[in-house]
Each structure stands twice: as structure tokens, then as C-alpha cells.
């Protein structure tokens, strides 16, 4: 039995379907993030789990028990809000012990448990301060301590790190993981920031327009995105347009402006048919660069185009090149070699088994389908 089981969850606000038939499970001890662009329904899902919003349809079971209809305080769930919602007139210790007081826990025990939580979040000795006497990062820790002190089955987070600067945010990501492990609690974390979600989560639920796009580990989503939307939303991707000229059980022939290339069927979305216009997506790290003078450019079994290096940025062990290709406009390549200069002529290639091919559907894309029309019939986007 999953700790949290959500099925058919739907929320309508008048004519707007904010959450549309969403199903997911969270296992005991997992760190699961709900990731999606602004307005995709993430907070509404979280608020329904917390009990601040009632679903239009669907069920939410916590530890096997239906919780829809129960008030928030009767659910074994606490939430850390984006604005933290600390009481300004109470001390740090009183803030942390507030929920325990509501439950009738005696003062001495409240004090002791608050102090233990302060130690857990590494704020020993801060109990008598008020929230105004703390930095933003320290306030985050107090909010977390308050959500954990009564040992709930599940802690919900609604973008709590978004107000912190990058360095502090990265530090708090590490801290969240440490605290989750030490307290052995289950976390459900909402964010639109893929960097945070990829860094901290065991699994991710990707939402768009209220519906589930994909659920999986970071690796699942990165290596095998279920839709063009996920490919674009998780990490960087190059997209070139093409057409399926033939399709059978083993492979498709795809013409992306450089001749027909055989692509394994496993790389092609299930709904793609022969004759369809498609997006061919490839991650920058799967793109190779070669010196144009020493390579053949008429390969018929790989995607290949000549081009000119536009820019290079050094990224530790790799270099990221943007290349203006003859076939597809700008293509990004993340390669080990640091051998190419701006303005140099190169050949850009990638293997057919490294692409993901989706039926071209402009509405189903994070950028709304804005592409740059190119005179050679190919289209591309600058990532
Ligand atoms: N109480 C409400 N009344 C009417 N519409 C609402 C209400 N709450 C949310 N919505 C709408 O439902 C949709 C989903 O909102 P939600 O806040 O869940 O999205 P989100 O993915 O959390 O976005 P963000 O990242 O911007 O917080 C939005 O179109 C929003 O305007």
C-alpha cells in the first residue's frame, strides 16, 4: 500500500479545469516533486492533499484511509508554505510548538520537542528569537521544523525555496535531503524550478495544463521523455522538424532535410504515423562535432549537417558549443573536446538511436510552438 494514493483527482473552478484526472502514488519515505510551468495545477493538487481545497472529483487516500472531506487538521499532513507563514509575534520555539499546543501537549514537552527540532535544522539556541531576527534561510528552517515537529506522515512543500538566492537555495536542497533522511518522513514538493526538482527528488510528477505528462525518476524523464513537452521541460534539448516517410514495427524513415534516416521504432512516440510531421529531439550531450575538413558529410545512416561554430562555453569537464548548421539552424552540442574555435567549419552529427520523435503538435509545447521558419524548409528553435 502506498502512503499516498491519488486517483482521478480533478478540480474545476467554474469553466476552468485546473486539475484534470490526475493519478499518482507516493511511497513511504520518498521525496516526490510535482513539477510544471506556472498555472499547470501544481499548487491546487497540493492544496487538495492538505485539505485547503476540495476536489470536484477523485479520491485521496493517506495510509489507506480516504481523506477527502476531512478538515486539514484531521489529516496527518503538514504544509510548508511559499511565504512560510510564521507567526511574527511568537518566538521561534513558540512557532515550532504551536501545533503541539493546539493538540494539548504540555508545555515542558513542547519546549523539549521544539529544541530537538531546532537541533535537527541546526538552529540550536535560536528558540527565543522572533522570526524578524532571523535571515531568510533561517526562517526556512523554522518553517520546516514547525512542519516536522508533530511527526506527520507526509510533509507538503509549496515552492518554499523560491525566495532564496541561488547559493542558499542549493544549500537548502542538501539540507532538505539530510533532514528528510534523518526524520524518515515522506516529502511531496511542488516547484516550477526544474533545477530544484531534479536535484532533490526520487521521482517527479510532471504536470501541464492540469494533466499528468509523465511520472518517473529523473533518469526516466531525461533519457526517455514521454512527450515533446517533457523533453523540453526537463533539461536542454535540440529539436529539428522532419517528416516520417515510412514506418514499420522496427523502424521509421525520417527526413529532416538531410535525406531519409532510419530511426529505431523504440525512439518514436506511439501515436506517430507514416506521413506525419514530427519533432526530432536530441540532447546536446548526444551531439558530436567533427572537423568539417576531415569528415564526410554525406552520411546516410546518421543525422549530419555542416555548420559553423557560433559560440563556445566551457563547463568544467565539457564544452557547450552552439553551431549554426546548414540544415537546422542553431544546434547545441555538449562535447568533451575543447578543440573548436568560433567561426570554425564543423560537421554536426548524432546517431538515430539517440533521438526521441514526437508528432508535431504546436499547442503541446512549453514555448507555444514558436519556431523560426527557414528558407530550406527545415525549422528550428534556439534553445
Ligand atoms: N481559487 C481559485 N479560483 C479560481 N481559479 C483558480 C483558483 N486557484 C487556482 N486557480 C487557477 O487554476 C489554475 C492552476 O493554478 P495553480 O495555482 O494550481 O497552478 P500552479 O501550477 O501551482 O502555478 P504557480 O506555479 O504559478 O503557482 C490556474 O489557472 C489558476 O489561475
Task: Return the number of other C-beta atoms located less than 10 Å from residue 214's C-beta.
Answer: 21
Residue 287 to residue 284: CA distance in whole angstroms: 5
Has residue 232 been placed in a domain? no
Mutate to test the pocket of ligand 1, among 44, 50, 52, 54 (most ligand atoms within 8 A of CB): 44
One domain for residues 164 and 88: yes
Record the cell numbers describing residue 70, joined without a space.
476531512
Query: What's the pLDDT at 171?
Result: 83
Q: Is the pLDDT of residue 112 over 50?
A: yes
Mutate to test the pocket of ligand 1, among 20, 39, 205, 210 (most ligand atoms within 8 A of CB): 39
One domain for residues 152 and 258: no
- Where do we find the cell 534523518? 182
One domain for residues 98 and 214: yes
Domain containing 253 equals 237-380
One domain for residues 190 and 56: yes
- Number of folded domains that form the chain: 2
Has residue 229 been placed in a domain? no
Residues having CB within 6 Å of any atom of ligand 1? 13, 16, 18, 36, 38-44, 192
Q: Which atom of ligand 1 is nearest to the CA of 41?
A: 18
Has residue 173 been placed in a domain? yes
What percent of the chain has a predicted confidence (pLDDT) above 70? 92
Tell me the pLDDT of the chain averaged across its residues: 88
Q: How far is the CA of 16 from the centre of ligand 1 (A)?
A: 10
One domain for residues 146 and 288: no
What are 263-298's pLDDT values in tens digits? 999 999 999 999 999 999 999 999 999 987 765 555
Summarize the confidence of residues 107-126 as an average pLDDT: 88
Bridge-based pairing of strands 251-255 and 31-35 is unpaired
Summarize the confidence of residues 121-139 as an average pLDDT: 88
Indicate which CATH number applies to the domain containing 186: 3.40.50.300
One domain for residues 54 and 141: yes
One domain for residues 198 and 251: no
One domain for residues 273 and 147: no
One domain for residues 300 and 354: yes
Has residue 219 been placed in a domain? yes
Alpha helices in 194-334 (DSSP H): 194-200, 218-223, 228-233
For the whole model, what pTM was predicted?
A: 0.83
Q: How far is the CA of 282 from the centre of ligand 1 (A)?
A: 32
Has residue 15 been placed in a domain? yes
Select the more confidently predicted residue: 351 or 81: 351
One domain for residues 71 and 180: yes
Q: How far is the CA of 329 from the centre of ligand 1 (A)?
A: 37
Indicate which CATH number applies to the domain containing 279: 2.40.50.140
Summarize the confidence of residues 6-28 as an average pLDDT: 97
One domain for residues 25 and 54: yes
Q: Which atom of ligand 1 is nearest to the CA of 46?
A: 18
One domain for residues 9 and 56: yes
Has residue 317 been placed in a domain? yes
Q: How far is the CA of 41 from the centre of ligand 1 (A)?
A: 6
Q: Is the pLDDT of residue 93 over 50?
A: yes
Task: Tell the residue nearest (CA) to atom 1 of ligand 1.
Answer: 13
Q: How far is the CA of 359 from the centre of ligand 1 (A)?
A: 29
Has residue 231 been placed in a domain? no
Residue 268 to residue 137: CA distance in whole angstroms: 45
Q: What is the 3-state secondary structure (H, E, C) of 63-131?
A: CCEECCCCCHHHCCEEEECCCCCCCCCCCHHHHHHHHHHHCCCCHHHHHHHHHHHHHHCCCCCCCCCCH
Q: How far is the CA of 20 from the centre of ligand 1 (A)?
A: 13
Amino acid at each position: 500500500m502506498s502512503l499516498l494514493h491519488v486517483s482521478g483527482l480533478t478540480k474545476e473552478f467554474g469553466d476552468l479545469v485546473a486539475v484534470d484526472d490526475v493519478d499518482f502514488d507516493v511511497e513511504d519515505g520518498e521525496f516526490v516533486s510535482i513539477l510544471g510551468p506556472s498555472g499547470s495545477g501544481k499548487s491546487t493538487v497540493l492544496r487538495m492533499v492538505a485539505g485547503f481545497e476540495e476536489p470536484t472529483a477523485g479520491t485521496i487516500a493517506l495510509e489507506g484511509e480516504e481523506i477527502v472531506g476531512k478538515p486539514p487538521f484531521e489529516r496527518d499532513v503538514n504544509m510548508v508554505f511559499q511565504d512560510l507563514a510564521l507567526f511574527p509575534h511568537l518566538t521561534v520555539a513558540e512557532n515550532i510548538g504551536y501545533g503541539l499546543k493546539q493538540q494539548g501537549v504540555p508545555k515542558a514537552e513542547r519546549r523539549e520537542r521544539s529544541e530537538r527540532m531546532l537541533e535537527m535544522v541546526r538552529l540550536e539556541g535560536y528558540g527565543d528569537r522572533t522570526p524578524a531576527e532571523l535571515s531568510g534561510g533561517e526562517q526556512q528552517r523554522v518553517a520546516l521544523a514547525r512542519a516536522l515537529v508533530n511527526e506527520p506522515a507526509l510533509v507538503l512543500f509549496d515552492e518554499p525555496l523560491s525566495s532564496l538566492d541561488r547559493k542558499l537555495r542549493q544549500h537548502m536542497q542538501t539540507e532538505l535531503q539530510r533532514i528528510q533522511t534523518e526524520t524518515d518522513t515522506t516529502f511531496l514538493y511542488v516547484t516550477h524550478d526544474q533545477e530544484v526538482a531534479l536535484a532533490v527528488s526520487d521521482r517527479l510528477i510532471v504536470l501541464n495544463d492540469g494533466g499528468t505528462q509523465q511520472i518517473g525518476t529523473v533518469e526516466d524523464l531525461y533519457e526517455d521523455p514521454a512527450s515533446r513537452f517533457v523533453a523540453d521541460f526537463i533539461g536542454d534539448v535540440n529539436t529539428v522538424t522532419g517528416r516520417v516517410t515510412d514506418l514499420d514495427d522496427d523502424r521509421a524513415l525520417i527526413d529532416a532535410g538531410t535525406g531519409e534516416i532510419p530511426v529505431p521504432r523504440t525512439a518514436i512516440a506511439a501515436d506517430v504515423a507514416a506521413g506525419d510531421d514530427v519533432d526530432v529531439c536530441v540532447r546536446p550531450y548526444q551531439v558530436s562535432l567533427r572537423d568539417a575538413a576531415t569528415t564526410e558529410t554525406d552520411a546516410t545512416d546518421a543525422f549530419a549537417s555542416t555548420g559553423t561554430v557560433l559560440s563556445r562555453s566551457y563547463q568544467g569537464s565539457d564544452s557547450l558549443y552552439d553551431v549554426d548548421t546548414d540544415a537546422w539552424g542553431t544546434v547545441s552540442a555538449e562535447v568533451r573536446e575543447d578543440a573548436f574555435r568560433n567561426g570554425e567549419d564543423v560537421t554536426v552529427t548524432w546517431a538515430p538511436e539517440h533521438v526521441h520523435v514526437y508528432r508535431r503538435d504546436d499547442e503541446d509545447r512549453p514555448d507555444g510552438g514558436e519556431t523560426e521558419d527557414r528558407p530550406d524548409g527545415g525549422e528550428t528553435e534556439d534553445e
